[in-house]
Amino acid sequence: VLKMTDLDLKGKRVLIREDLNVPVKGGKVTSDVRIRASLPTIQHALEAGAKVIVMSHLGRPTEGEYADEFSMQPVADHLAGLLGRNVNVVKDFRAGVDVAEGELVLLENVRFNKGEKKDEDELSKAYAELCDIFVMDAFGTAHRAQASTHGVAKFAPVACAGPLLAAELDALGKALDNPARPLVAIVGGSKVSTKLEVLESLSDICDQIIVGGGIANTFLAAAGKPVGKSLYEEDLIPAAKKLMEKVSIPVPTDVVCGKEFSETAVATLKSADEVEADDMIFDIGPDSAKALAEQLKEAKTIIWNGPVGVFEFDQFGEGTKALSLAIAASDAFSIAGGGDTLAAVDKYEIAEQVSYISTGGGAFLEFVEGKTLPAVAILEERAK
């Protein structure tokens, strides 16, 4: 695909689609990982003397309607702080967007525009008319075929990939296409059903898959272990068994249980054979964590998506902590992606030691599943 960094941006109207879909509470941005990840792209365009127009969605508002709670204003304020300059929000881009060379504006939430999610041509063309060059940089939204990610790229005079999108594709490609081995994936989270396709794709390419969270409970059940009242999916036991025949998926030998899902729940360490009918498994135990950490030492590539326990409660966070530290200590090429995973990376302060932190949640998973990302596919088509 064409890259923004290969183009002369001087004096051009450059429309950049970023994924600035960040958590906002009380009018303030509470995690700015995605905003900071987009900064180099925006700064590059500003320094090159472009007239910069940035756009993004925020949350899932009712389409076609303005709603204060989904306004980009808090993001603009935060971005302004990071850039050390004013960032105006353009409420109605159809009334015209005025921006000088080396300056930027942020369009209001693209999901306030009718036709955004349906990828309608009329809206896509209206975006395209704003620019000389369209830059797709929103890796986190590249799995969505919407007007601001996909449609606009059909009609813009020039459509290219921004540096963040390019870096994400490079890093994920490096981990998936021709990885240094052993390749170990860690897949945590609550349900096998939401990650079955990911597990299946990974089982084709990984040397080992480490499972955690509710996902591990289904594998424990598949291995004939008692899981008590734990979250697990009985109907997916056959799928779990099949995966275990294909690739090494060690199940925990010890687990940390609670009797209720709460911040004050008492944590009890048990052998995986001794889980009782009223127990809920909330973490892997220290023996399991130690064994897995040993195995991670051998890994040359690590793909991590999902915590292995309820780490938001400290008493059930030791497993996720131990694996985080093992990843941090490893000299493997490591990639972490997904909202909960990034929260764990933050909590255990390993951001510096992970080789690549992806800004993608759903997009990260779809890429790992081997699916085509429509917003990338259209750039490839345009490059032909």
Selecting among 49, 102, 115, 339, the annotated active-site residue is 339
Q: Does 361 bind ligand 3PG (CB under 6 A)?
A: yes
CB of 56 to ligand 3PG, least distance (A): 8
Q: Is 125 a catalytic residue?
A: no
- Opening angle at CA 109, ends 103 and 110, nearest 5: 95
Does 338 carry a binding-site annotation? Answer: yes
Q: Is 241 a catalytic residue?
A: no
263 C-beta neighbours (distance < 10 Å), count: 10
Selecting among 34, 117, 225, 321, the annotated active-site residue is 34
CB of 65 to ligand 3PG, least distance (A): 16
What secondary structure letter does DSSP report for 101?
T
Dihedral sign, Cα of residue 224, residue 319, residue 369, residue 144: positive
Does 197 carry a binding-site annotation? Answer: no
- Say if residues 164 and 38 touch (Cβ distance below 8 Å): yes
Q: Does 19 bind ligand 3PG (CB under 6 A)?
A: yes
Q: Which of 111, 120, 124 shows the shortest CA–CA distance to 153?
A: 124
Q: Does 60 bind ligand 3PG (CB under 6 A)?
A: yes
Q: How many residues bind ligand 3PG (CB under 6 A)?
A: 8
Closer CB to ligand 3PG, residue 176 or residue 365? 365
Q: What is the Cα–Cα distance from 228 to 257, expressed in whole angstroms?
A: 10
Selecting among 125, 191, 246, 300, the annotated active-site residue is 191
Q: Is 229 a catalytic residue?
A: no
| Alpha helical stretches, state H, the chain | 33-47, 73-83, 121-128, 152-155, 163-176, 192-205, 213-222, 237-246, 286-298, 318-329, 339-347, 362-368, 374-383
Angle between helices 237-246 and 213-222 (to 10 degrees): 90
Closer CB to ligand 3PG, residue 140 or residue 317? 140
CB of 188 to ligand 3PG, least distance (A): 17
- Say if residues 30 and 69 touch (Cβ distance below 8 Å): no
- Say if residues 29 and 78 touch (Cβ distance below 8 Å): yes
CB of 299 to ligand 3PG, least distance (A): 27
Does 312 carry a binding-site annotation? Answer: yes
Q: Is 360 a catalytic residue?
A: no
Q: Does 306 bind ligand 3PG (CB under 6 A)?
A: no
Closer CB to ligand 3PG, residue 289 or residue 375? 375
Q: Which residues, 144 to 203, sit near ligand 3PG by CB under 6 A?
A: 144
Amino acid in the structure at residue 77: D
Does 273 carry a binding-site annotation? Answer: no
Closer CB to ligand 3PG, residue 212 or residue 338? 338
- Say if residues 297 and 266 touch (Cβ distance below 8 Å): no
Angle between helices 163-176 and 33-47 (to 10 degrees): 130
Q: Does 23 bind ligand 3PG (CB under 6 A)?
A: no
Does 144 carry a binding-site annotation? Answer: yes
Closer CB to ligand 3PG, residue 63 or residue 101? 63
Q: Does 118 bind ligand 3PG (CB under 6 A)?
A: no
R_g over Cα of the chain? 22
Does 58 carry a binding-site annotation? Answer: yes
Q: Compute, in degrees rounded to 10, the torsion defined by CA atoms 167, 168, 170, 176.
A: 160
Angle between helices 318-329 and 339-347 (to 10 degrees): 80
- Say if residues 203 and 213 touch (Cβ distance below 8 Å): no
Does 274 carry a binding-site annotation? Answer: no
Closer CB to ligand 3PG, residue 127 or residue 139? 139
Sketch the per residue contact string, 124 through 153, with ligand 3PG: x for CB under 6 A, - otherwise: ----------------xx--x---------
Q: What is the Cα–Cα distance from 337 to 335, expressed in whole angstroms?
A: 7
Pick one of 13, 17, 21, 187: the residue that binds ligand 3PG (CB under 6 A). Answer: 21
Pick one of 241, 362, 370, 382: the residue that binds ligand 3PG (CB under 6 A). Answer: 362
Query: Could you give the residue numbers annotated as active site?
Result: 34, 191, 339, 362
Q: Per the annotation, where are the binding residues for substrate?
A: 19-21, 34, 57-60, 111, 144
Residues at the site binding ligand 3PG, with contacts judged by CB under 6 A: 19, 21, 60, 140-141, 144, 361-362
